Structures are given as structure tokens and as C-alpha cells.
Amino acid sequence: MPNIARLLKEEIVRVARLGKLLAKGGSAAVESPPNEDAQLRFWADGFRKHRARLWISAPAMAGLLGVSAQTIYNWESGRSRPGNAQIAKIAVVRKMAKRELGAKLQAK
């Protein structure tokens, strides 16, 4: 069983980093890939599991994709689907490693 205090501390640190990023007025948005001809697919459950595997909160993922946190929750619950531009950005994020994503969040 994971140590709850450690998990809570990690979450607080992650939220604080995101808060610093947003307070500076920076955007950690990901650029769309230049090749938009490729057929990309989106599964809500797969997106949610990938975000959980990376230990990225919905607001942090929203900052990376340039959408609101509520939009992320709606995508994960299946209430809505991302458009083609957002799916292309999700594809870019899926190819990034944890360290690369962390650096992207702390960059600005």
C-alpha cells in the first residue's frame, strides 16, 4: 500500500509547479505535429490511463494541450471528444517521456 503522506506531498509539489508556471503567464502548450494527414484515433479510457501513468493532473495536461481542465475531464468521461487539432497534440504528448513532459511544464 502506498504511503499516503508521500503521495500527498508529490501532488502538492506538482500543483505548486503548475501554479508557478501559470502565475508567470507562461503557456506549456504543445505544438501540433506538421503532418496532419495521418489517421489518429482517440479512446477516452486510454487517454485517462496514459495521464495516470505519467502522474500528470488534469489541469497540467490541460496546460500542455491548451484546453481547460474541465475539457480534459469531459474527454476522459466520454461526454465529449477532442477535435482533430487536439488529437494531434495528444499524439505529440503520448510520444513524450516523463522527463520531457516535466521539463515542458517547468520551461516557462
Write the CA distances from 30 to 8, 90, 96, 104, integer angstroms: 27, 9, 11, 9
**In the chain, what are the domains?**
4-107 (1.10.260.40)
- Residue 104, amino acid: K
Query: How far is residue 62's CA from residue 68's CA, in Å, rounded to a whole number?
Result: 5
pTM for the predicted model, two decimal places: 0.61
Tens digits of per-residue pLDDT, 28-85? 555 555 555 567 788 888 889 888 888 888 998 998 888 999 999 999 998 999 988 8
Number of other CB atoms surrounding residue 66 within 10 Å: 16
- With the CA atoms of 63, 67, 72 and 73 taken in that order, what torsion angle do they form, in degrees rounded to the nearest 10? 110
